[in-house]
Structure 1
Amino acid sequence: MNAHIVYASITGNNEDIADIVSDQLKKHGVEVDETEISQTDADELLDADICVVCPYTYDEGALPEEGMDFYDDLKELDLTGKIYGVAGSGDVFYGDDFNKAVDVYGEAFKTAHATQGAENVKIDLEPVEEDVETLAKFTDALVKAAGK
């Protein structure tokens, strides 16, 4: 089984989240590719059993500008049979816009006919020990959903 994790990060928090998810997947024996969103073509997800996106939310609910091509292309894919999960860091300071990109990417995966393997994870700022536990459960659910 293999997974592809795509992250967008300004502060490094989402790269940290991607690294944690990657480490957890590897503990399950999953082969993992981890790439930065501006360096990733959405169709690379077609080769993965599990697809994960770790986006940040900019300002008042905006998606990462460097990931707009990826986002637009993601919605056009047919990811039937693929398992997806979305986990991201944000700042609760933004209230209703806190981690909005996590939900928007989740909807894009649904548009692409992927199957949600784990509930969306929204982390306030950098991941702490309790978030690592949450991401381990997130990863466990993805692997279980993928049937391995």
Structure 2
Amino acid sequence: MRIAILFGSEMGTSEAVAESLTDELSSHDVSMQDMFDFDPADLDPAHFHIIVCSTYGDGELPTGAEPFFARLESTRPDLTGLRFAVFGLGDTVYGDSFNRGGELAAAHLTARGATQVGDHARHDASTLIRANDMAREWVATLPLPGLGTRMTA
């Protein structure tokens, strides 16, 4: 099974997390792409998708993810059978908009028929926990061959 890691970033933190996940999953067939350059038509239900998404402004998607989700909404593909997991980034200093980017990403995909699996990770930049460290621990819990069996659908 191919693992496709897609990241949406504003300042580069999501890209750094995606790189850590790519390294952590190096024993698998894994690819990493910026959502800005990724066409929703290339979402393949035969692959497992990991979405790494930051939050920008007042709880919006980051600039790097906006074109992807705009194309997803305009083309409205049927994503039935597509499985994905989300690693969101945010800061609790921003209250209600904390980690909203990852939540919006998940909502867009599930609205098209995709299924979110595993725990929705929500990194908090206000903690001492590094996003890359949290991501490496989180990915081990995903239902991927050789990684783990815990699954929350």
Short-chain TM bin: 0.7 to 0.9
Give 4+ residue runs of structure 1 displaced > 4 Å after superposition. Answer: 142-146
Q: 1:130 to 1:103 in 2, by over 3 A?
A: closer
- The percentage of counterpart residues that share the same residue type is 27
Whole-angstrom distance in 1 between the partners of 2:44 and 2:135? 29
**Match for 1:63 among 61, 73, 84?**
61
SS in 1 for 2:25: helix
The change in CA–CA distance for 1:130 and 1:120 in structure 2 (over 3 A counts) is closer
The answer on whether the counterparts of 1:21 and 1:136 sit within 8 Å (CA) in structure 2 is no
- The equivalent residue for 1:129 is 133
- Residues 80, 26 of structure 1: alpha-carbon distance in 2 compared, 3 angstrom cutoff: farther
Deviations 1:110-139 (A, max 9, x none): 1121121212111123415345312322xx
Letter in 1 for 2:57: D
Which ranges of structure 1 fall in alignment gaps of 5 or more residues? Answer: none
Root-mean-square deviation over aligned CA pairs: 2.4
Greater per-residue helix proportion: 1
* Deviation per residue, 1:64-111 (Å, 9 max, x gap): 233222112334122211211111221121111011011111111111
**Matching residue within 29, 39, 42 for 1:41:** 39
TM-score normalised by L of structure 2: 0.79
**Count of aligned pairs:** 142
Gaps of 5+ in 2: none
Write the letter of the residue equivalent to 2:31. D
Give 2:36's aligned amino acid. S
User: What is the distance in 1 between the residues matched to 2:66 and 2:134?
Assistant: 31
Q: Where do residues 1-148 of structure 1 align in structure 2 (5 Å cutoff)?
A: 1-27=1-27, 29=28, 31-46=29-44, 48-75=46-73, 76-125=76-125, 126-127=130-131, 129-137=133-141, 140-143=142-145, 144=149
Higher relative contact order (CA 8 A, sep 6+): 1
Q: Is the 8 A contact 2:90 2:99 kept in 1?
A: yes
Tell me the CA shift for residue 18 of structure 1: 1.2
Mapped contact 1:89–1:99 kept (Cα < 8 A): yes
8 Å Cα contact 1:52/1:85 also seen in 2 = yes
Verify the 8 A CA contact 1:17 1:88 in the aligned structure 2: no
8 Å CA contact 2:9, 2:65 repeated in 1: no
